[in-house]
Every structure is written in C-alpha cells, then in structure tokens.
Chain A
Amino acid sequence: MKTRVIHWFKFSSPQNFYYLAGKMWPWFAALAALLTLVGLWISFFVAPVDAQQGQGYRIIFVHVPASQMSMFIYLVMAGWAGFGLAFNTRLSGMMASALAPTGALFAFLSLVTGALWGKPMWGAWWVWDARLTSELILLFLYLGFLALQASIDDPRRADKACAILALVGAVNVPIIYFSVKWWNTLHQGASVSLKGSSMASTMLTGMLIMVVAFWMYTIAIALVRVRSIILDRERHTEWVKHAVA
C-alpha cells in the first residue's frame, strides 16, 4: 500500500511559507470581500428594523464580529507565542507579530462602534460596563505588546520577549475579565443586556456572515503582513534577492 507523507514542517521554514502564503492570501482576501458585501447588504437592506432600538442597532453587524475577533486573535497570538518558545521556530514569532496589529485594530474598532451605539441607546458615549472595560484593557495589552516589539532591535529577542508577554497576558485575561465583572456588580453600574430581545433570523444570518468575513480578512491580512516580515528579516539571504528581483 502506498501512503503519501505530507511534510508539515516543510512550511515552518520562512522561505517555504512565504510562497505558500503568497498562494493563499488572495483566496482569503476574495472571500473576505465577497462575504463583507453580502453581509453588509443583508445588514443594511434585508434585516428588519429593530422594534426597540430602531436603525441604530445595525452597528452590531460590525461591533460583534470586531470584539469577537479582538479576543480570539489574542488567544491565537499567545498560542503562536507559546509554540515559538517551545519549539524555537522562527515563523511562530513572525505570525504573532503579524497578528498583533490586527487584534489591536479590532479592539479599537469594537470600542469605537460600542461608543457610537451607546450614545443613542444608553445616552452616554462610555459607561464603565464590565465588557467595555475589559475590552479597553485588552487594547492596552495589545499596545504593550506592540510597544515592546518596537523597542527591541534584535528581532529574535523581540519575538521571545513578546512571546512571554503574550503568555502572561493570556493567563491574565480571564482574571482581569472576572475581576472587572465583580467590580462592576459591586458598584451597581449601568447594566444593559441584549438578552431581552430575541434576534430575528435574518439579523443572525447577517451577523454570522460578517463574523466569517472578519475571519477571512484577518487570515488574509495576517498572511500578507507575515510575508513582508519574512522578506524584511531574511533580506540578507539569496532566495529573497531572487524573490524580489
């Protein structure tokens, strides 16, 4: 019997991954564009007006996927960081640093859309709600990661130091979340939940499509970014000279 062995570790070399990522990213980008168009069309024209919140609710089609992705990207980033520390692979650190700006962007986007939604709904741009506060702290964690990355010149050292920071942050994220949650209930802060209103099915479909679109965008942009990081760090090698020439 003939078995085909796939050498997965082949793609842990930056050179091979550079070409693989080059083949993959256009597909993810195309999917992201298509799904965003469909998702936005559903969210603007198909989904009905909400009985309680009117047209203003439509921002959740961007807000919910953005905040989901911001949290998930941190976990993926910490996963790559831990992988890099354990196996000492160069690519892992590059993946972590390729994901960080997108995570920070989504955390910021989630805060901005949350504020835009909060003004008409709650009458305030910002309330010290548990979810808002922990999203803000998540943004701080991303900014710390990016700042540490930027201030260490040696990329290998920067990768490892950031990996430790990402792991420490990942351990702390649940602790921070629950402490903020209990702090909030103790202070009797504004408590508004969406649980009361059940969502119409078209709204849910629109949101799910947007979630998938954000996923595709994240993968595409991370691949593009990791390609430029690879080129930058391997610029002294022969293959880069051939690839760029």
Chain B
Amino acid sequence: MSVVVKPVGLGRVLLAVLRREISLGMRQKGEVLTPLVFFVVIASLFPLGVGPETALLLRMAPGVLWVSALLAAMLSLQRMFATDYADGSLEQMALSTTPLALLVLAKAMAHFLLAGLPLVLMAPVLGLQFGLDSRALGILMLSLLLGTPTLSLIGSIGAALTLGVRGAGVLLSLLILPLYIPVLIFGAGAVEADAAGLGIGGHLSLMVALLVLSLFFSPLATAAALRISLE
C-alpha cells in the first residue's frame, strides 16, 4: 500500500518557513535586540570621535547612519544557518522536495524582518541626533527599507559559504562588505542627493534594481553554497 503525499504549494512552504524563523527569532529576544543596540552605539560613537559641530554632523549623517546599519545587519548574519546546521534540520531542508533556494529566500526574508526592519524603524531616532530634518529622515527610512533586504540577501551567500568554517565571523565580514558597497553608495547617496537639491529617483531606482537582481540570484548562489557546506 502506498501513501499518496499531497504536494504542498510553494507559497505555503515559504510562509511556513518564514513563520518558523520568526517565532524562533522572537524566542531569543537578545538576538533581535543586540544588533539594534549595536546600531545605536556605533552611530553615537561618531559624534564623540569627530566633535559636536552641527554642520559637520549633518553633512556626515547619511553615510554614518548607513555604515552603522550595514554593520549591525551583518552582525546577525552568521546565525542565519548556524543553528539549523548544528541540529541537523538544515540537512532535512536540503533533502526535502521543496527547492532549497526557496527555503533560503524565506530565511533571508526572516532575517530582513528581524534584523533589517528594526534598523529602519530606529534610524529616524538616530537621525534626529544628527540634526536631519523630517524630509531627510523620510528618505533615509525609505532608502534603508529598500536597501536592507538586499543586505540580507547578499549576506545569506556569505553566511552559507562560511558555515562551519574556522573564524567564520571575521571571514564573513571580509567576504561580504565589499559586495555591500553599491547598496551603501546609493542608499547614503539618496539622502545626500536630496539635501543637495537633486532628484532621488535615480538612486532609488538603482536600489530597487539591486534588490530585484539579488532577489533572483542570491538564493540560487546561497543554495549552491549550502549544498557544498553540507557535503
């Protein structure tokens, strides 16, 4: 007697993995809060380092906030696959009939919701400390909202490549940070362009282009990298 397994729709699998990742993440409150605190601390160090002149801080604000957000988002990347790798559930995911790239996409989306979105919501508070006006704060949030998903997606490649490797943390940053440069340039550039009276359409379009590109390619690359790590 054979058991007929009814195929489950890919969308439902995506939602199930997303829900699992978020509930796992929410149980470890520290994992969500630590990057956020890190973001605040890093951004607060810059005024202490360069001095409290308002004009200088205002000029630096978009870049400083973007670099801080980028480092904070990177902090939690390593955990994207590490716990599932340790308890063996990652192997089960790789063996399942659902494409691994889809599961990886769900994990990257969960990383964005848990690590990227809090940064987007925290950024305006820090922006106020640097003296940005409400218009600039809105653009900063918009650029972070478009940029942080790309960071999670590109980061997932690095997290998969460094899985179970010696000194994975530092290695991950060395591999991933150069690839983050375009996002940083256009993200911080959007805020600066608006401050200079130029349009921000170009910057935002390019950020969306980067997002679409990484949405398509990085789950494939990550899935390939995971299969190598699991060999």
Contacts and interface: CB of A to CB of B under 8 A. Distances in A.
Query: A and B from one assembly?
Result: yes
Interface in B173-198: 174-175, 177-179, 181-182, 185-186, 189, 192-193
A204 interface: no
B209 to A, nearest CB: 9
A165 B161 contact: yes
B221 to A, nearest CB: 6
For chain B, the bracket of interface size reads 20 to 34
A184 B185 CA distance: 10
B221 A176 contact: no
B171 A164 contact: no
Given A168-B221, A180-B181, A148 B171 contact: yes
A161 B225 contact: yes
B189 A183 contact: yes
A171 B217 CA distance: 10
Interface string A160-177: 110011011101100110
Contacts of B178: 137, 140-141, 144, 169, 172, 176
B11 interface: no
A140 B177 contact: yes
B106 to A, nearest CB: 20
B181 A179 contact: yes
A183 B229 contact: no
Chain A interface main SS type = helix
A10 B14 CA distance: 46
Contacts of B177: 140
A5 interface: no
A163 B82 CA distance: 22
B165 interface: yes
A143 interface: yes
Contacts of B171: 144, 147-148, 151
Given A164-B221, A182-B185, 12 more contacts: A140-B177, A144-B171, A148-B171, A152-B165, A157-B231, A160-B228, A161-B161, A161-B225, A164-B225, A165-B161, A169-B179, A171-B217
29 contacts: A137-B181, A140-B177, A140-B178, A143-B174, A144-B171, A148-B162, A148-B165, A151-B162, A151-B166, A157-B231, A160-B228, A161-B161, A161-B225, A161-B228, A161-B229, A164-B221, A164-B224, A164-B225, A165-B161, A167-B221, A168-B179, A175-B182, A175-B210, A176-B182, A179-B182, A179-B206, A180-B181, A182-B185, A186-B192
Interface of B: 157, 161-162, 165-168, 171, 174-175, 177-179, 181-182, 185-186, 189, 192-193, 206, 210, 217, 221, 224-225, 228-229, 231
Interface of A: 85, 137, 140-141, 143-144, 147-148, 151-152, 157, 160-161, 164-165, 167-169, 171-172, 175-176, 179-180, 182-183, 186
